[in-house]
Every structure is written in C-alpha cells, then in structure tokens.
Amino acid sequence: MQLSADKAPLNVDQEVDLLEYLHAILRAKYRILILSVLVAGAVFGYSKTVDSKYRSTAVMAVNISQGVAGTRPGQYRGSDVVGILEYSLMVDEPYENEQSRLLARLTSNGFIELFIEENDLFKYIFREQWNEANQSWIEGFVPSMQIAVMVFRGEILSAEVDGQSGLLPISMTTVDPQLSARLANAYFERFNRYTRDRRLAELAQQRDILNQRLDATSNIEMQRSIYRMLETQLAEEIILNAKSDYPLEPIQTAQPALFKSAPNRKMWTIVAFMATAMLSVLFVIGRIVFKKLTAALGDYGQPKLEPALTGNSEVAEDSPQDQLVDQEQMSAKKESTKREVALHIDELDEWLD
C-alpha cells in the first residue's frame, strides 16, 4: 500500500473561503455583542471600586549658577559682594552635572524619609492598616519606612525636568485634592530649606577648618589667601540666608485639582469592550481553522490505496457526471452562503440604523 501523491497533505493547497469566516462571525454577532457589553460593564463596575486620584502640580525653575565665581584666579569676587549678588547665588564653581545631582537629591531616600516623617504620611500611605477611630495601627502592623519611600516615589511623587522648557514640574497624586496641593507646595519649600541647611553646614565646617589654619600660620601670604576664602564663604552664607527660592524658584504653585486624574473609567470601559469583541472574533475564526485542521489530520491519517503498476485492479475514479454534480453542489453551497451573508449584513444595517 502507498499513500496517494495526488493530494497535498493537510490540505495546504486548499483555498481560503473568506465568506465562510464572515458568515460565522455574523452568525455569532449577537453573542459577541452581549459578551462585550457584559465584560465592559464588569470592568466599569470594578473601576468604581478603585479610589479616585487627584494630581496637583507645582512648576519650578532650577536656579543653578554655571561657573560664575570662585576663588580661582580670574574668578575671585570676594572683594565685591555686589558683584556676587548680581552674578551668582553660589560662590563656588558648580559641577557640570549640577542639575542632575540636584534632581537626584530631590528624589533621594534621605529627603523623602525626612518629608514623610515631618508630614506624618505613614497614616496616608498605610491608610488601610490605620484605625481612624482608635487612632492606632491595626494589631500586629508595623509601618516600614522602606516600603513607604517606595510607595511615595512610585505612586505619589512625580518630578522630571521638561526637555523643551527646562522647567521642573513637581506633582503629587493622592485621593484628596487638597492634600495633593499641600504636599506639592510643601515639597519644594522643604527641599529649598534642606539644600540651604546642608550647604550652610558645609560652610560652617569649612570655616572652622580655615580659622584653625589661620591661627596656626604666621605666613602673610597664606593668611591673605585664607582671608579671601573666608570672605567668599561669608558672602555665600549671607546670600543663602537672604534668598528663599534657591535652588528651586516657584513659577506656579500647586492648586487643588477640580477633576480626578485617575482612573479613566470611560477609557477602561471602551478598551474592555473593543478587546473583548476582537478576541471573540479571533476565537470564532480560530474555531473554524481548528475544525479544518482536525479534519485534515483525520484524512491524512487514513491512507488511500494506489492501483498496482501491473495488475487488474480498477482505479476508483469519479466519472465526469459525478464531478459535474460535485461542482454544482459546491456552487450551490457558495451561493447559499452568499445569500445568508447578505441577509446578515442587511439585518446588521437595520440594527445599526
């Protein structure tokens, strides 16, 4: 026995009948529609259980000098305090990546931990574990600062420099619009104080070292050099204490949001409806393809006998009349499918109208 070589395996040469797929989709159109509506309704209902979020944004300008003054030859301005006030807040020459360093400190763990503690944000971040009536945590719960910082940075805080304008929007997202605005304004104000206090502490430490060196040396030139450095540091300290908008200058303070920023319930519902409809159509088409593939595998698993090369076996071939009947039946089936598809399209047009 030999397999027939006249027919390609698995019907790979079979033409794709698009009308068959369209007919199957139109037959299942009401089921697809009902399923899509049910899924979209379920997603919309679920979105109602999600807390509404409100975002408030404060727009900042980054005040950073770019190498205007210092104690190097040609940069020294310590003898002219007015010149320092006109050109630069910081006397020391800044780093080339000073803005990146500033943004890194703005979202650093150290500053976020300080901000969370000062604003008592543990109760908000872990509000599901906080008993408001008893003003205490539920039994056995201990708030974690590490988790609080992660939640604050990932879900509440947003700070990134705008590439076009160069401004720095600082946004806070919470369930309370008033709280969002208050936190956004408090964040940049506290960061300015944090940066100034940090720099003033460095200046105080440097001044102590310079005073010690001044007392220990008797060289006139060395004393003059130390006095120049003390003068520039004193000028910087005066400016730091006198200026409140360093390093972040508020261009626009945050205001309570009038509308929620999340969740977008309409978008969720539309996406759920369209995704369900598309998946349903793919399922209908895949079901037909699977049936055809299964039938092809069944036919392929049943070999047909070939006539012997020498012998009296009769070849089982269809007569011309049988082939003509098969063609007529196939044509009639296609015409019937076309009529059914046209009928479904008319019904769909009437339903849409």
Report the 3 state secondary structure along 63-80: CCCCCCCCCCCCCCCCCC
96 and 160 housed in the same domain:
yes
Is residue 61 located within the same domain as residue 37? Answer: no
Indicate whether 337 belongs to any domain: no
- Write down which residue in 189, 221, 252 finishes a domain: 252
Asked if residue 93 lies in contact with residue 69, where contact means CB atoms within 8 angstroms, the answer is yes
- Say if residue 138 is in the same domain as residue 58: yes
Element (H, E) at 130: strand 130-131
CB 208 within 8 A of CB 233: no
The per-residue pLDDT for 250 is 93
- The Cα–Cα gap between 37 and 276 comes to 9
Q: Is residue 351 part of a domain?
A: no
Model-level pTM? 0.63
Are residues 106 and 35 part of one domain? no
Nearest to 138 by CA among 151, 146, 129: 129
C-beta separation of 236 from 90 below 8 A? yes
Which CATH number characterizes residue 214's domain? 3.30.1890
What is the DSSP pairing of strand 130-131 with strand 136-137?
Answer: antiparallel
What is the phi/psi pair of residue 175, to 5°? -85, -5
- 218, 252, 286 — which closes off a domain? 252
- Position 5 scores a pLDDT of 46
- Residue 14 shares a structural domain with residue 67: no
User: Does residue 258 lie within any of the structural domains?
Assistant: no
Question: Quick one: pLDDT at residue 151?
Answer: 95
| Domain that residue 177 falls in | 54-252
Position 122 in a domain: yes
Q: Are residues 101 and 204 in the same domain?
A: yes
Q: In this predicted structure, what is the pLDDT of residue 294?
A: 79
Residue that is last in its domain, among 190, 217, 252? 252
10-residue averages of pLDDT along the chain (353 residues): 48 63 87 93 90 93 61 46 37 67 92 95 92 85 93 94 89 94 96 91 87 86 82 80 85 92 88 94 88 73 51 51 64 68 62 53
Biggest CA–CA distance in the chain, Å, is: 129
Q: Phi and psi at residue 133, in whole multiples of 5°?
A: -65, -45
**DSSP per residue, 162-215:** -TTT--EEEEEEES-HHHHHHHHHHHHHHHHHHHHHHHHHHHHHHHHHHHHHHH
Q: Total structural domains in the chain? A: 2
Q: Give the SS3 label for residue 3.
A: coil
> Could you tell me if 133 and 186 lie in one domain?
yes
Whether 134 and 236 share a structural domain:
yes
Q: Does residue 332 fall inside a structural domain?
A: no
Partners of 168 in beta bridges: 60
343 located within any domain:
no
Closest among 132, 265, 119, 128 to 179, alpha carbons compared: 119
**Strand-by-strand arrangement of the 168-174 sheet:** 157-159, 168-174, 54-62, 248-252
Buried b (16+ CB within 10 A) or exposed e, 110-120: ebbeebbeebe
Residue 219: the pLDDT is 85
Same domain, 16 and 142: no
Whether 37 and 70 share a structural domain = no
Q: Are 42 and 59 found together in one domain?
A: no
CA distance 118 to 49: 31
Both 274 and 246 in one domain: the answer is no
Distance of CA 278 to the CA centre of its chain: 25
Instruction: Assess if residue 186 is contained within a domain.
Output: yes
For 200, counting Cβ atoms within 10 Å of its Cβ (0-12 exposed, 13-18 middle, 19+ buried), the class is: middle
